[in-house]
Amino acid sequence: MAHDIRIVTEAALRELVPLDLIAVDVVERGFAALSTGRAIMPPVLSMELPEIEAEVDAKTAVLPGFDSFALKVSTGFFQNAALGLPSLGGLMVVISARTGQVEAVLLDNGYLTDLRTAAAGAVAARHLAPAVEVAGVLGTGLQARAQILAAHLVRPFGRVLVWGRDAAKAKACAAEIGESLGIEARAEVDRARLVAESQLVVTTTASREPLVQADWLHPGLHITAMGSDMEAKIEIEPAALARADLYVADRVSQCAERGELRSAITAGLMPAEDHAELGAIVTGELPGRTAPDQVTIFDSTGTGAQDTAIALHALALAQNAGVGTVIKA
Amino acid sequence: MAHDIRIVTEAALRELVPLDLIAVDVVERGFAALSTGRAIMPPVLSMELPEIEAEVDAKTAVLPGFDSFALKVSTGFFQNAALGLPSLGGLMVVISARTGQVEAVLLDNGYLTDLRTAAAGAVAARHLAPAVEVAGVLGTGLQARAQILAAHLVRPFGRVLVWGRDAAKAKACAAEIGESLGIEARAEVDRARLVAESQLVVTTTASREPLVQADWLHPGLHITAMGSDMEAKIEIEPAALARADLYVADRVSQCAERGELRSAITAGLMPAEDHAELGAIVTGELPGRTAPDQVTIFDSTGTGAQDTAIALHALALAQNAGVGTVIKA
């Protein structure tokens, strides 16, 4: 029994689905839906190919209020640079939550993942960050830029500091951010100073050593740590999580396995359970920031709920615009 | 950096990829590759949607000697019949094992899964079944027919017995098999008699109670149990596994969680490890059947290795025939 399946390419998705407040709101609704008892999000399928420094993940979530769901396949092949190819890739399959029929294949090569990850940072900033004059970012890659652009949508700060292991890359990243936002942005070689000057810090590295020390926490600081998404990665000293006034996970069970929370549990500094999830803060079930001088930390590992939310948004835009190749299958 | 992605529909795949000895050989190579130390097959991603009697699985495996791999999404929505839709569906994504780039999307709606599952039964029969005059099958669905057609490719038996809960369906299934193979095929209402008369028995039901008793085992019998693929399902009395001369899993770790092996472990009748896998028998690392009067049981849960093998075969046929829609993405 053939039915229509819409195939949409990365190029089309980049045109159709910008990083804007609508995308942030869409991802926020995904977090809210995930926090209800009726959401179903299984553990990530994760395949490591250590011989070639590669990994393949699959994530999915069925959410109340969403008629369809995404199953996302994401690839990271870290020797691709030598071949002149991007390291990250993958696609999202959109499936009816009522019949299981495949409705669309979004050949996004990771674009929608970049988008929903940045949008999640903005959702966290919206509910957790204080007023922000200076935003700092650790890392100089695509997410460093995307996180800052997304956060600026909800906290229109006037200055940006960029730290990277490679000073030239940090400079280039700062220049790009400054131009995109029309604000002052500069590289900062001293991570401690970057944190001291910022009210919002986003960490976007693949570090396996803590880059932010617990001693650097100061009143009125929010940190979004999005780099750690697998065992062995860590960006924030575990003691910082315990010392913060509010630690928030995107999904506690996932953060305990692959987020910053993992190291803090191992160090005996945090329990494995009973932490706030961003969705419960979005819905008002739990409080977010309640005072300007609090220290808050958001641990972002990336959830299937974000994938479902952004994929359905992208598909709706593609359908409305009549974009994509429709195949009877 | 756009590259070509081939999209192939179910209708095209049904034309291109028949259930034949080539498909059996392809799946056999998949089992052989899985048995090497270098194969990588992560645990299945499994999402149950109990409110609507549905499940979604994702399976994958990277195999030595295969340049690409499949990540398969399979859906079972068991209230679909009321909507006039098939219960099973899904697709296979073919990804380069070298770069992670998506190479193809096979919109097979579960057809390739049916095919590789039947082919796996034939691989098991080839290495484990004795000479077969009579083949019996429990179940009357698509896999009942497919398993018998596949087994006949490697053990050209002359008679088939079909048991089903619904006598009319058993009759229809027998008639269809008889016509397809040009041999005698009839419904048999007594399961014990069916097993007694058969040298090869395939169980293809979604039963949650054992359908084959241990006492029914007789010298010179091979059983392929393919129905149980998730917790709660069972077709063979656990004592039968312990009593057989040779128990073979498609993948021990998977059978221990979702195959017949699970119940036998729970009953304390079988250890959780140290069982033969079909791949090791294919490669000759372990013996298969060594005498005509042995009793052998193959526990089929369905592996990502089979999916990779059949998907790459299907894609090669599609490429050779120039079939499918090629999208730059």
**What is the tens place of the pLDDT at every residue in B284-317?**
999 999 999 999 999 999 999 999 999 999 999 9
Q: What is the mean pLDDT of chain B?
A: 96
**What is the tens place of the pLDDT at every residue in A257-269?**
999 999 999 999 9
Region of residue B182 (phi > 0: left; psi between -120 and 50: alpha; otherwise: beta): left
Under DSSP, is residue A15 helix (H, G, I), strand (E, B) or coil?
A: helix
Q: Cβ(B13)–Cβ(B106) under 8 Å?
A: yes
CB atoms within 10 A of CB A268: 9
The residue among B10, B46, B56 with the most chain A CBs within 10 A of its CB, best to mutate, is B56
Q: Cβ(A8)–Cβ(A104) under 8 Å?
A: yes
- Band (pLDDT 50/70/90 cuts) for residue A312 is very high
pLDDT at residue A271 tops 70? yes
User: pLDDT value at position B231?
Assistant: 75
Interface check for B99 against chain A (CB to CB < 8 A): the answer is yes
Phi and psi dihedrals of B46, rounded to 5? -135, 125
pLDDT at residue A230 tops 90? no
Sign of the dihedral through C-alpha B123, B124, B126, B131: negative
Domain boundaries, chain B: 4-113+305-328, 124-302
Instruction: Give A117 to chain B, closest Cα distance, Å.
Output: 20
Q: Cβ(B105)–Cβ(B91) under 8 Å?
A: yes
Catalytic residue among A72, A169, A233, A328: A72
Asked if B327 lies within 8 A of A9 by C-beta distance, the reply is yes
List the single residue in B with minimal CA-CA distance to A5. Answer: B107
Residues 38-67, chain A, touching B (beta carbon < 8 A):
40-49, 52, 54, 56, 58, 60, 62
What separation in angstroms does the CA of A120 have from each of A32, A36, A64, A300? 12, 18, 19, 8
The residue among A16, A55, A59, A62 with the most chain B CBs within 10 A of its CB, best to mutate, is A62
Nearest to B90 by CA among B105, B76, B106, B109: B109
User: pLDDT value at position B137?
Assistant: 98
A4-113+305-328 domain in CATH 3.30.1780.10? yes
List the single residue in A with minimal CA-CA distance to B326. Answer: A325
> Which range (A29-33, A127-131, A194-198, B230-234) has the least confidence?
B230-234
Asked if B56 lies within 8 A of A60 by C-beta distance, the reply is yes
- Band (pLDDT 50/70/90 cuts) for residue A61 is very high
Region of residue B85 (phi > 0: left; psi between -120 and 50: alpha; otherwise: beta): beta
Residue B328 annotated as catalytic? no
Q: What is the mean pLDDT of chain A?
A: 96
pTM of this structure: 0.94
Asked if A45 lies within 8 A of B60 by C-beta distance, the reply is yes
Nearest to B93 by CA among A56, A115, A77, A323: A56
The residue among A45, A83, A87, A108 with the most chain B CBs within 10 A of its CB, best to mutate, is A45
User: pLDDT value at position A1?
Assistant: 60
CB atoms within 10 A of CB B244: 20
Distance CA(B107)–CA(B126), nearest Å, equals 30
Phi and psi dihedrals of A47, rounded to 5? -125, 120
User: pLDDT value at position B2?
Assistant: 77
Distance CA(A195)–CA(A215), nearest Å, equals 11
This model of the complex carries an ipTM of 0.92
Interface check for A82 against chain B (CB to CB < 8 A): the answer is no
Asked if A42 lies within 8 A of B43 by C-beta distance, the reply is no
For the segment(s) B124-302, the CATH number from 1.10.10.10, 1.20.120.530, 3.40.50.720, 3.90.78.10 is 3.40.50.720
**What is the tens place of the pLDDT at every residue in B36-87?**
989 999 999 999 999 999 999 999 999 999 999 999 999 999 999 999 999 9
- Fold designation for A120-302: Rossmann fold (3.40.50)
Asked if A105 lies within 8 A of B91 by C-beta distance, the reply is yes
- Band (pLDDT 50/70/90 cuts) for residue A37 is confident
DSSP lists the bridge partners of residue A53 as none
Interface check for A323 against chain B (CB to CB < 8 A): the answer is no
Sign of the dihedral through C-alpha B157, B159, B161, B162: positive
Residue contacts between A and B (CB atoms, under 8 Å): 147
Name the token pair of A158: 């006037």
In degrees, to the nearest 5, what angle opens at C-alpha A104 toward C-alphas A102 and A107? 125
